[in-house]
Amino acid sequence: DTAVSQTPKYLVTQMGNDKSIKCEQNLGHDTMYWYKQDSKKFLKIMFSYNNKELIINETVPNRFSPKSPDKAHLNLHINSLELGDSAVYFCASSQGRRGVVLYTGELFFGEGSRLTVL
């Protein structure tokens, strides 16, 4: 079973469209993240949820809206797509804080979703 799974893996769409990327983790973690990897491979945090509560909201256009229906799922919806939104989007999960049994500190990543806006 894949620990962190994202769908779709590839997404090609026209400028101005709306699209969603879904993420699910089966690790029992309480914190989930969205990262964006740009064309230069730089990874930057976008959002993070802890037990369905938004705890990180970096400087991201409000066209991007995350939603966490439960602590195992974190979806990303993007409105009015622009050329600059083309990137690979990674979902990740982790145990929130040290003190949890077997805390390892790392983030577990999904395989990434490559979004291409034409």
Partner 1 sequence: AQTVTQSQPEMSVQEAETVTLSCTYDTSESDYYLFWYKQPPSRQMILVIRQEAYKQQNATENRFSVNFQKAAKSFSLKISDSQLGDAAMYFCAYRSLGSGNTGKLIFGQGTTLQVKP
**Helix (H/G/I), strand (E/B), else coil: 68:** strand
* Residue 16 or 28 having the CB closest to partner 1: 28
- Residue 104 CB neighbour total at 10 angstroms: 10
Q: What DSSP assignment string belongs to 72-118? A: TEEEEEE-S--GGG-EEEEEEEE-SSBTBTT---PPEE---EEEEE-
What is the x/- site pattern for partner 1, positions 4-43, by CB under 8 A?
---------------------------x-x------xxxx
Q: Site residues for partner 1, window 51-80 (CB under 8 A)?
A: 55-56
What is the x/- site pattern for partner 1, positions 85-114, by CB under 8 A?
---x-x-x-x-xxx-----xxxx-x-xx-x
* Residue 56 or 60 having the CB closest to partner 1: 56
